[in-house]
Structure formats: structure tokens, C-alpha cells
Amino acid sequence: MPAPDMVGGQLSGSRCAIEGVSIKGLFALLVLSLLLPSGATTSSKSVTCHKICLCASNIVSCSKMNLTGIPMTFPRYTAVLDLSFNQISKLKAEWTPVKLSMLHSLLLSHNGLTFLSSEAFLYVTRLRYLDLSSNGLKILEEFIFEPLEHLEVLLLYNNHISQIDRTAFSSLNSLQKLYLSQNQIQRFPLELVKERNRLEKLTLLDVSTNRLKLLPIQELQVLPAWIKNGLYFHNNPLPCSCELYSMLARWHRQELSSATDFRDDHTCLLPGTQKEKALTLELNKVHLNCSAVTILDEEAYLEQFIRLGCDTRQRFMLKSWVLPGNVQLSSGNQSSRVLSDGSLQVGPITLEDSGIYTCYAVGESFNETLYVTVLVHNATQAGGQEGMKTAYTTLVGCLASAMMVLIYLYLTPCRCICCPGQGLDKRAPGDSLHSSILSVSPTHEDTGPEGGGGGGCAFDKPPFNRHIAYLDPKGLLEQNGRLSPCGEEDEEWQEEDRGRQEQRRKSDAESLSSVCSDTPIVV
């Protein structure tokens, strides 16, 4: 058994060892606590949340904090971030260094934003609501919103936007509402709503209060009613025209919200230097005297197939049809069936298919009832075309007959030179002059050789009941080389001893040439 002094010495030594270890541990913990930052022990909270912004669960509000830049860190669980009413002029690519995968709403209105980086939205790809309204944006460059494939609402109103690249919104396949009002846009973005290029889910496009001077009216008229219902273009400097009135009046009759909600804001500029404004829906009363708009009924012919559309103001409505006479459409009906898009196909058409067809549409927010009147003509469409062909054939026949009559009256098909026994002697000295004088026709209707006409052909008879005397081409030349006007030559012209009679005959011939040369004598 050890001595008491030894035991007491061991106990005292062990006590000192324990006290030394505890002192070193406490010192180490004290140094470590001083080296660590004050917020490292709470990893679930951001150091900026309670100092600069207000936090409520997953909502972070930094509104009206006079911020000139965006705080560098936000909690990863942030779902709504409000940075509105500050002085943030640029949205750079590194405005958030961490990916905010839970962020679905970003508010940046009333900041004086003039610059958007092409990489500003790389870390917030799950955004569904983006508010960039009431800023100083002027240009929307190509593919600026490309990462935001889940974006549903985009607010860009009250900026200074004058240039929009055609591909700026091309990747926003989930976009439903786009607000571009109160800007300086001069071109209507038709690519957003036109078939084949439009955003499939877009139901609202607001381009009101801009500088639009032209609307693609023909393209807008063929759009579905659910697109036209949310297409706002009021308060633009559009020129007044009956075409614009007709389109807007049809929209108003269909009770489309874009026409009825802003009826008094749909104005246009009248022709003239003063550019006076007028209400578009009153152009048929005061200014341009446009004709009143009526919705035309569907017209059909027998044995034809027609397609009746149920053009509702809301998309994806449940549609059902009732036939004329309040007859319910059944599966056993062979002439009428509902297609996949809700339209009704009727055919082959019979006279019993005339009447009013009713379409009942049921939607989430409201229901609609549309009526389509069908008028069936008691003829086939091919029969109508045959009637037109018959009319054209008759007209062509009449024109051909008139041409034949004119040819018969004014173009002689047989000249005397082609008749037997009437050919001129080619050796005759006056044969070359035959084209410049008139041929001789008998003064009597007898055309035989004894009738004085020399056996002329039947076509030489005058078409009217008149007697016409023509000059005989025999003896065309006188001794002095002049033509004999009446074609008569007497033997006394060759006798030199009868001078007085020769002079008298020559004077008679000269006087006669001024009367009957190149002119038939009617007797």
C-alpha cells in the first residue's frame, strides 16, 4: 500500500493536468469564435434581409429604399422580389451572384432603367411575372428575354420604347399577357399574333397610346375572336377610313372587350391638314358616311359541304350545337357532325338544312351563345357555273356574228379580177394604173355581156337599191400621157383635120375629169 504522501502527490498532479487541458480548450474556442463572422452560425438567413429590405416568409421587399444598385445577396428561397421605386438605372448580368430558382415575380418599375444586359435573366429562369414598367427603356434587343421560357406576364408600359427586334419575344412560349402601351412604337408587332408565328398562349396584347399610323386590317380580321378580344390598339394616330370603321364595328357587335371597354378612346385622324380627331365608331354618321355593318349569313348550295365556326371570345370553351328547329345534334345524324375545334360540318346540303344554328359555349369565367343563319339556294354550285358558261358562250356567239356581218359589208371577198373573163390584159399599158382608178360597173342591173357590164361577178352588185355608174378602164392614157377621166375614146380624137371639134372634145373631157374622176355617179 503506497504511502499517504505518495498518493496525495499523484492526486494533486492529476488535478493540475485536468485544469491545464480545460484552460487550453477554452482558449481555443475563444480564438475560433473571434475568427468566424457573426452570421456564420445562422445559414438560413441573409445578412442584408433585415438591414436593407423587409422580409416576410419568401417575399423580399426593397421598395422605396433609394437604392442605386441591387444588393448582392438574397435568400435562395426568395419567391417575390420587389425593387420598385428606387434609382436602379442598369440591370447588369451580375445583379444576383446566386441562382434564385424559386423566384417567380420580379418588380423593377419606377427605377429609371435605361439598360438591360443580355444576361440579366440567366439566374432567374423560373420567372412568371416581370414588371419593367415606368422606366426609360428605348430599345428591346434580340433574344433579350430568351431565358424566360416560363414567363406569363410582361409589363413594359410607360417607357420610351421605339425599336423592338422581331426576335425579342420569340422564345416566350408561355407568355399570356404583354403590355406595351404608352411607348413610341410605330410598327404593329404582327408577328406576335399572326398564324404560324404567333405566341400560342398570348391572349392579351396592349399597344394602345403609341405612334401607330397603320394597322394590318386584313390580317387582324381573320384572327380568332379570343385573340381579338384582348387586342388593344386605341388612342393611336390612325387615319380614318371605312375599312377601319368596318373592322371595329364588327368587333363591337361581337362584344369584344378591346372594342367595348374603350369605345370612346378609339379615335382616328380625319383627312386634311388640321388632323382633327373623330370617333371611329361614328364615321358612318357624320364624317365619311361609311355604310352600316351587318354580319352576313352563310350561303350554301345543294350537295355542298359547309363548315360553321363557333368563334368565341374565350379560348378552350366547351361547345355544343343545336340544329334549326331546336333539334338536338345526335350521334345518329349523318349530315352534321362537330369537329375537333368545336366547329360544325354540315353536308351534303339539302333544302331542309336552311335555318338558324345555335352554338352554346361554356367557359371558366363566362358563357356565350352564338347564332349562325344558313341560307340554302335551290341549285347546285356546278349548275350556277354552267349558267355562267352559257352566258359567256352566247356573248361570244353574238360578237362573232357581228364580225361576220362587218366583214361581209366592208371587205369584198371576190374582186372582179378573180371572175372568169374579167381579167385585164397584163400587156395593156394602163394595167399598172388599175389600182388608182375606179372600175366600171353597169348602169343597169343586167350583168351579162350585153348589159354593158362585161359579165362582172355577183359581189360587184351594189348592196343598196341604187344605180351607180363606174368608169371603164379601157383606153386609160391620152396622147399626152394623162388618164382619160371617163375612159371613153372616139375616133375623132385621131383626126387632125377637125381641129375645132377636137378642141371642143378635149375641153369637154377636161371638164368631165374634174367631176367624175375617182367618184361614182349615182343616177
Q: What is the pLDDT of residues 1-34, one digit of tens each?
A: 444 444 444 434 444 444 444 444 434 433 333 3
Whether residue 365 lies inside any domain: the answer is yes
458 pLDDT above the threshold of 90 = no
Residue 412's pLDDT band, with cuts at 50, 70 and 90, is low
Cα 504 to the chain's mean position, in Å? 90
Cell numbers for 215, please give them.
394597322
Of the listed ranges 32-46, 68-82, 133-147, the one predicted with least confidence: 32-46
The pLDDT score that the predictor gives to residue 304 is 87
The answer to the question of residue 310 being in a domain is: yes
Confidence bin at 358 (pLDDT 50/70/90): confident
C-alpha cell at 361: 359555349
User: Residue-wise over 456-492: b if at least 16 C-beta within 10 A, else e?
Assistant: bbeebeeeeeeeebbbbbebbeeeeeebbbbbebeee
Q: What is the mean pLDDT of residues 380-408?
A: 72
**pLDDT mean over 392-416:** 75
Q: Is 343 left (phi over 0), alpha (psi -120 to 50) or beta?
A: beta
User: What does pTM read for this prediction?
Assistant: 0.61
Instruction: Find the domain containing 321 and state its range.
Output: 298-380
What CATH number is given to the structural domain containing 346?
2.60.40.10
pLDDT (mean) for 474-487: 47
| pLDDT the model gives residue 215 | 95
- Assess if residue 325 is contained within a domain: yes
pLDDT at 247 over 90: yes
Q: Binning pLDDT at 50, 70 and 90, where does residue 418 land? A: low
Per-residue pLDDT at 99 exceeds 50:
yes
Residue 311 lies in a domain: yes
pLDDT of residue 433: 42
In a domain, 369, yes or no: yes
Tell me, yes or no, whether 42 lies in a domain: no
Q: Which of 108, 105, 150, 144 is nearest to 125 (CA)?
A: 150
Instruction: Give the range among 169-183, 214-228, 334-348 with minimum mean pLDDT.
Output: 334-348
> Does residue 347 fall inside a structural domain?
yes
Residue 390: the pLDDT is: 63
The number of distinct structural domains making up the chain is 1
Q: Indicate the range of 42-56, 131-145, 387-401 predicted with least confidence.
A: 42-56
pLDDT surpassing 60 at residue 270: yes
In a domain, 318, yes or no: yes
